Homo-oligomer: A and B are copies of this chain.
């Protein structure tokens, strides 16, 4: 359980690749897709989502392509993952506690909150700079 989807995997691969390039150079989507071995049409959708929230900047037309929207050390893995997979929510009740508070069953609630918090902390502590470094 708790599995990242393909979309999430591709998203990470794509943007980490971008983070490994010079910050001032645009990359063609088709090049990125080929480099990280992801269907270009699918990656296009993903990068559109990135673009909307400013994780990447896009340029159309001849000479166009993508660049990181911010320096790689200022983009966390958490942002990338949540951009395409939605917020980290181990359980509905963490999002909507209304439905949950009644009945003593919900000793479970705080546990899911801890899970959420731990995961966010791990992912939030890693930047694209960390990930792009080639050992």
Question: How many residues of A sit at the interface, in one of the four size bands?
Answer: 35 or more
Q: How many copies does the complex hold?
A: 2
Supposing A12-B108, A115-B122, A122-B115 touch, asked if A90 and B2 sit within 8 A by C-beta, the answer is: yes
Question: Is B107 a contact partner of A133 (Cβ separation < 8 A)?
Answer: yes
Q: How far apart sit A64 and B126, CA to CA, in the bound complex (Å)? A: 52
Nearest to A130 among chain B residues (CB) is: B107
A131 at the B interface (CB under 8 A): yes
Q: Is the CB of A3 within 8 A of B91?
A: yes
Residues of A that sit less than 8 Å from B by CB:
1-5, 8-9, 12-13, 16-17, 20, 36, 77, 81-82, 85-92, 104-105, 107-108, 111-112, 114-115, 118-119, 122-123, 126, 130-135
